[in-house]
Structure 1
Amino acid sequence: MHSSKKVLITGILGQDGANMAEYLLSFDFLETHPRDDQRNMQVYGMMRRSANPNFENIENFKDNPNFKLVYGDLTDEVSINNLVKDIQPDYFINFAANSFVGCSWDMPMQVFDVNALGVLRCLEAVKKYKFDCRFYSAGSSEEFGDIDYSPQDLKHPIKPRSPYGASKATARHLVKVYRESYDMYAVHSILFNHEGTRRGEEFVTRKITKGVARIRRALEINKALVLNPLPIKPMELGNLNAKRDWSDSEDFVKGIWLMLNREKPKDYLLSSGETHEIREFVYKAFKCAGIEGSFRGSGLDETFGYEDGGRWLVLAKVNPEFYRPAEVDLLLGDPSLARKELGWIPEVSFDNLIKSMVDWDIELLQNEKLTRSQRQT
């Protein structure tokens, strides 16, 4: 008879935290699973205290008897120590972060306090109060920064170009130091861009899919207002030339769980191995919504739209305010090591990822008062 494992997940209200919790809680419903001790797991989701928390991402499972919300803050050493001491987790998965790259220029001290020192506080808590706990730190492709070669692997030099990237690179080094100095099971993986229906609205992919849904509805309304159509407010974006390696978050949490269940700890890199321009994401998102358009112009004057009665109807345009001070133009990862050694096989393609996000935001707009669980039934 195996005792149930305990998993502490920070950043539970975010995309990755919610997807990981839902994935682990789903093990009880699988007919077969390689590890009997991973059934009936107790999942603890850490969130910061807030006057108006948004539970949308955990709506599906927050009432599951094997799930419990707990309060803590990566900037508060005492709260992290108490959680590890009281819960005695077998796994500690850290997704909490200030994760919006653009904002890291405005508040670099806070970003480092959470993303770098926060990881240090977690490592210290595990070392002191639950040494056999397996610790995971979520890294970022932004750690690479200035690119020497593509695709990037774990041997690529670390040359971040933003405070966010620098904070994640610091966390990576801290995990390595603790793993090698104390023989802890601690891993830090490089995660390339990963999206999904739980993605925050401040990120460009969700901004695009929500914008497409809004514009689609506005165009539908205008069909009924033939004589007096309403003006369409274009979506505003930054650097359309930026290239990213996008994957599905649900694929990534499965890979992370594989990393945490090896005989010995080792860092890995997760990515799709494909790169796409933001321009391509925009085009395909509109196409998923049934809107065929094209790009015109160049640089700051580039727009996306279509001919409408002899005029060019602009649906998306460039706003220089959304450019980063130091943009990383090309990110492309090499996931071959994770595929070979972990047996990790991502299931969601780039096109299907976009379609699922666009479909979700269209439905969200049509059923604004429904919860996530109600929309999925």
Structure 2
Amino acid sequence: MSAVIIVTGVTGQDGSHMVDYLLENTNHEIYGGVRRLSVPNHKNIEHVKSDRFKLISLDLTDSHSIEKNILKLKPDYFINFAAQSFVGASWDYPKQTFETNATAVLDILEAIKTHAPQCRFYNAGTSEEFGDIEYSPQDESHPLRPRSPYGASKAAARHLIKVYRESYDLYAVQGWLFNHEGVRRGEEFVTRKITKSVAKIKQAIDKNLEWEPLELGNLDAYRDWSDAEDFVDGVWKMVNQETPKDYVLSSGNAHTIREFVETAFRFVGIDGYWISSGIKERYKTTVVEQELVKINPKFYRPAEVECLLGNSEAARRDLNWEPKISFKCLVEKMVRNDQRQPE
């Protein structure tokens, strides 16, 4: 039987991949929530032509908009990827981050409880909730000790979901999604910033042109990176269990931003080397004199989470889920995609 699914954040990386996954693997009706239908920022879903996919106006900062859509559609699933998900921006806009990432979740839970109690709700969580880590790798039992307004907002949403799940018998879950990237990653994120710069620098070297070096902050922060396309399968399985439970989704392998840089440049045939240290550190190559990467202190976060490494054994066991795309393949895929983009 066909179900009704609301997916938010469909113009972003995760939401658009979720739409692709659902269209390919189910026969359900999918409603993609966007804040303003009149704003054509739909690059990540412009390829979708299915009559089972429709856009709806849904503003998560407006409780009436949330209630109206849930009352009208009576969804069987509500998958929420809409968020202020940039850690750096959460320091500049903490109030807006909480309104989007936590208050909106409360409004969704209230509307589901009142108008669609049969609805299965998934909210995207993050490894940033763990924050000041006690042990590694982090699993579902690790305490929540966020070190940014973004991580704190997602931890708050998790507590709300647990309260509503236990108090009202709702199927509501929030997975801990460790870092996941891909060709649809926003350019404000460091991974896409790296691959886009590498593609531009490679083109400049080939054409004997000058370029702007890539500016980065902490090169030695460890992250557990996966491909976003692998994660949507885990999300769908998480929201379709007999009993609602939160799971960690991760690759189980950590790499530094430094390694990400080296892997990206190596893919385009540029072998580099690091010189100096601290804020004077640079990445250069013997091919040309101009530097490839330099440090800019403005990209350091007020409270950095040094090492995030996930233990996804529970998801692999209970959900029969595992990531398929390796770190190296992920980086190369992203660089290749940016090399194809028009200037």
Q: TM-score, normalised by structure 2?
A: 0.98
Is this contact kept in 2: 1:206–1:357, CA < 8 A?
Answer: yes
- Decide which moves more: 178-187 or 296-305: 296-305
**Matches of 1:71 and 1:284 in 2, distance apart?**
41
Match of 1:307?
286
**Matches of 2:46 and 2:276 in 1, distance apart?**
43
Which deviations, in whole Å up to 9, do the C-alpha atoms of 1:345-373 show, x marking residues without a partner?
211010010011000000113xx5xxxxx
Match of 1:274?
253
**Matches of 1:43 and 1:25 in 2, distance apart?**
8
**Matches of 1:81 and 1:305 in 2, distance apart?**
54
Is this contact kept in 2: 1:11–1:17, CA < 8 A?
Answer: yes
Is this contact kept in 2: 1:84–1:129, CA < 8 A?
Answer: yes
**Matches of 1:288 and 1:53 in 2, distance apart?**
34
**Matches of 2:38 and 2:72 in 1, distance apart?**
25
**Matches of 1:231 and 1:348 in 2, distance apart?**
34
**Matches of 2:268 and 2:52 in 1, distance apart?**
38
Residue 42 of structure 2 corresponds to residue 69 of structure 1: no
**Matches of 1:161 and 1:102 in 2, distance apart?**
12
Is this contact kept in 2: 1:123–1:178, CA < 8 A?
Answer: yes
Which deviations, in whole Å up to 9, do the C-alpha atoms of 1:307-341 show, x marking residues without a partner?
246xx430111110011011101100101010011
Among 164, 183, 188, the alignment partner of 1:178 is 164
Instruction: Report the 3-state secondary structure (helix = DSSP H, G, I; strand = E; otherwise coil) of the residue aligned with 2:156.
Output: helix
Aligned-residue sequence identity (percent) comes to: 57
Match of 1:319?
296
Which deviations, in whole Å up to 9, do the C-alpha atoms of 1:23-57 show, x marking residues without a partner?
00012xxxxxxxxxxx4211110011176432110
**Matches of 1:79 and 1:298 in 2, distance apart?**
51
Counterpart amino acid of 2:125? Answer: G
**Matches of 2:38 and 2:3 in 1, distance apart?**
31
Is this contact kept in 2: 1:190–1:268, CA < 8 A?
Answer: yes
Match of 1:167?
153
Instruction: Report the 3-state secondary structure (helix = DSSP H, G, I; strand = E; otherwise coil) of the residue aligned with 1:73.
Output: coil
Consecutive unaligned residues in structure 1, runs of 5 or more: 28-38, 223-229, 369-377
Residue 12 of structure 2 corresponds to residue 14 of structure 1: yes
**Matches of 1:18 and 1:298 in 2, distance apart?**
40
Residue 79 of structure 2 corresponds to residue 93 of structure 1: yes
Match of 1:234?
213
Instruction: Report the 3-state secondary structure (helix = DSSP H, G, I; strand = E; otherwise coil) of the residue aligned with 1:123.
Output: helix
Is this contact kept in 2: 1:307–1:313, CA < 8 A?
Answer: no
Instruction: Report the 3-state secondary structure (helix = DSSP H, G, I; strand = E; otherwise coil) of the residue aligned with 2:122.
Output: strand
Task: Give the CA RMSD over aligned residues.
Answer: 1.1
Residue 269 of structure 2 corresponds to residue 290 of structure 1: yes
Is this contact kept in 1: 2:37–2:56, CA < 8 A?
Answer: no
For 1:249-268, list aligned pairs within 5 A: 249-268=228-247
Q: Which structure is larger by alpha-carbon Rg, 1 or 2?
A: 1
Instruction: Report the 3-state secondary structure (helix = DSSP H, G, I; strand = E; otherwise coil) of the residue aligned with 1:359.
Output: helix
Counterpart amino acid of 2:15? Answer: G
Counterpart amino acid of 1:23? Answer: Y
**CA deviation after TM superposition for structure 1 residue 265, in Å:** 0.6
Give structure 1 regions of 4+ aligned residues with deviation exceeding 3 angstroms. 50-53
For 1:12-161, list aligned pairs within 5 A: 12-27=10-25, 39-49=26-36, 52-61=39-48, 63-161=49-147
Among 294, 299, 307, the alignment partner of 1:330 is 307
**CA deviation after TM superposition for structure 1 residue 137, in Å:** 0.7
Match of 1:375?
none
Is this contact kept in 2: 1:108–1:163, CA < 8 A?
Answer: yes
**Matches of 1:202 and 1:266 in 2, distance apart?**
32
**CA deviation after TM superposition for structure 1 residue 211, in Å:** 0.5
**Matches of 2:168 and 2:241 in 1, distance apart?**
18
For 1:169-248, list aligned pairs within 5 A: 169-222=155-208, 230-248=209-227
How many residue pairs are counted as aligned between the two chains? 343
Is this contact kept in 1: 2:264–2:332, CA < 8 A?
Answer: yes
Consecutive unaligned residues in structure 2, runs of 5 or more: none
